[in-house]
Amino acid sequence: MSPAWTTAADEELSRRAFGDGHAIFLRNWPYAMDLFEGQDSAVRGKVAFAPLPGRARGEQGVGSTGGAHLGVSRRSRHPDLALALARHLTSEAAQRAITLGAALSPTRQSLYRDPEVTRDHPAMPRLQALALAGRPRPVTPYYLLLSATVQPEFSAALVGVKPPERAIADAGTRLAYFLRAVR
């Protein structure tokens, strides 16, 4: 059902295959919807947001939340200007412009049902429901390193290089080694 290359595909390669009509399912960030609904898209009018498939015990699947977080460094030479920029970028007007012009999800809840936004992005109410059901990624300064530690083991199981039980055991060993190093 899925070509073997999908286990090694990055976001862009899989997005292009889906956008060309060569895949039936894609997990990506919401910006991709604007590309799929573009004038020359092979899948225009045939794509929708959906929850991730559920788990084996009947639990619903959920995605992860993303975002761009703003902060002002205590070492900033211009903290007042930095704070003013953060307030501007999170204002309703700026969030509307970012949503409409950059295909990024708004941080303000009201914009997911705003008539101007939903006219150009009719899937926004569905995206809001999925985002509200999402879970944040684990909070750790080591997230990228942890992900890079277990991902090769999961890939090995997916492509049949290792049985799943062995891949999980090896991931556990790699994580234990990593955790000893950061303590």
pLDDT in tens, 162-171: 999 999 999 9
Residue 42 maps to a domain: yes
The predicted pLDDT at position 183 comes to 76
Residue 37 maps to a domain: yes
Residue 79 maps to a domain: no
Residue 47 maps to a domain: yes
pTM here?
Answer: 0.75
Low-confidence ranges of the chain (pLDDT < 50): none
Radius of gyration of the chain (CA): 20
The predicted pLDDT at position 1 comes to 62
Among 40, 65, 90, which residue terminates a domain? 65
**Residue 101 corresponds to which tokens in the numbers above?**
């012009």
Please give the tally of structural domains in the chain. 2
Residue 78 maps to a domain: no
Residue 130 maps to a domain: no
**CA 7 – CA 52 distance, rounded (Å):** 17
**CA 157 – CA 47 distance, rounded (Å):** 30
Among 65, 82, 115, which residue terminates a domain? 65
Chain mean pLDDT for the chain:
90
Question: Contact 14/24 with Cβ under 8 angstroms?
Answer: no
Residue 73 maps to a domain: no
The predicted pLDDT at position 79 comes to 96
User: Domain range for residue 61?
Assistant: 4-65
Residue 52 maps to a domain: yes
The predicted pLDDT at position 179 comes to 83
Question: Contact 72/86 with Cβ under 8 angstroms?
Answer: yes
